[in-house]
Structure 1
Amino acid sequence: MSDVTLQNFEADVIEMSRQVPVLVDFWAPWCGPCKTLGPMLEKLEAEAGGKWKLTKVNVDENQELAAHFGVRSIPHVVAFADGNAVDQFIGVLPESQLRGFLEGLSPNPGQVALREAREAAAAGDRDGARAAFQAALAFDPGADGARLAYIGFLLDENAIDDAEAEFGLLSPHALQDDAYAALQTRLEAMKGMGDLPDPGELAARVDANPNDLAARLDLAKMLIARRQYEPALEQLIAIVRKDRGFEDDIGRKTMLSVFELMADQPEAVSRWRRQLSTSLN
């Protein structure tokens, strides 16, 4: 069991979960139910012998991290696997239910193939990654999370038509996933690149006229398509500050999608969320 903060979350949770499942227990010293759940989780972790890892986040000391994961009531436990949040529960579960929850984190063939796909992509084996993603979806065609990950991979490969086709295979439930809106924002940005002026021309327009919000938005789209997210956020927050109503609040809405694209960078996202919050007040 280890304590996690915003600074070590990526290493101790996101990266560690690529090796074994990681449970994040959001708690506070004043929380009575937390004092019941915490020891139960510690006992089960000891029994597991390294099959999964328990981490704890004190919400009083890490309010930004708690807000990032939508924690409103504690105890709140989020399970991570392969770098992503895969399940969660709120409150205290009986030990039998806890064991069932943990058993559900054991990788199935589709999850194993998904892990192999991500590892191959990280290693630069694009053909191997594509084959592994397709294998993962063959095991479970209804796995929206795996399909969204595959869409992200296809966008990395600039395979826009293939990515758009995969969007059509998602279930209606996927529309509620923040990753859906984020990837759609990126897809639309990439599809529109051919219609946009040269990025140097856009940057020159913004320099010459900082109030040219249309140029700022086009430049942000270009940067999103290139995965240059923080420079894109600089343009988007300038739009929010200058005209919140511009194109139906598109600056703020697009920032939220970019935050999801940067989900593996919680510290950077928290910094930009603070700036956005300050701009809205």
Structure 2
Amino acid sequence: MQAANIVDINVQNFQQVILEGSQQQPVVIEFWAEGHEPCIEVAASLNKIALEYAEHFTLARINCAVEQQIAMQFGVQALPTVAVFKDGQGVDGLVGPQPEAALREMIEKYLPKEHETLLGQARQLLGMGQFNEALPLLAKAHELAPEVAEIKLALADASIQAGRLDLASDLLNSIGLADQNSDYQALCSALEIKQQAADSPEIRTLFEQAEQQPDNLELKLQLAAQLNEVGRAEEGLALLFEVLKKDLNALDGAMKKSFMDLLAAQPAGDAAAASYRRKLYSLLY
């Protein structure tokens, strides 16, 4: 059974698969003829590559002995010929026998990079309001392409929505002047509103009380919980960890349990949570 992204082209589906389809993702066109040995070798390589990148490009196969009209329309003069179409236009091609490496190199130039794929997946999640689920995808994309402002802005957006205000602030502060567009300005405004809400009178009072009563561990637990509620989880983790460094069994283990609960509440892939998890393990073992 032929893979879904490998299509035999005829006059009926030519426009839909190649001209319209290449508006959505690259289309690699394989011009071939039955019984032609170089075509067989190239076909095997293209089929292998198409299966590897099943979601990222369409392999359109044109049998020139059968679809002579289409072959003439493309001006094919030798077989095998391989062409890449993108946005309805031919953008690259190779003529004659080719090793797999040459075919792969040409095709991969037009495929989305891993960070672009992750960004696209994350945007779908953001559109459905699944901010915590989008965060690890965006964090990975940012790790792969730390210079791409588009990813930074998307990660900042998800962080604000998920209550990770510290991360959002760091990301927005790293955006260069040239990339401070309307999206950036909107995110800065959204962050400021969230930060104002996060600095509530109740939290300020708890901070003051914690300073006045440094040995009141119950108060520190309460403050850490409040900080987590308003998107300041990293501050809460830092507060509890300072206690655990001195006494791992503080409050008969309640402090450690609260710290671990706070870690578990953070989104998958959260850098601060991962860092504090390692720190806790260093204390335990």
> If the TM-score is normalised by the length of the shorter chain, which range does it land in?
0.3 to 0.5
Q: Which has the larger radius of gyration?
A: 2
1 or 2 for the larger relative contact order (CA 8 Å, sep ≥6)?
A: 1
TM-score by length of 2: 0.37
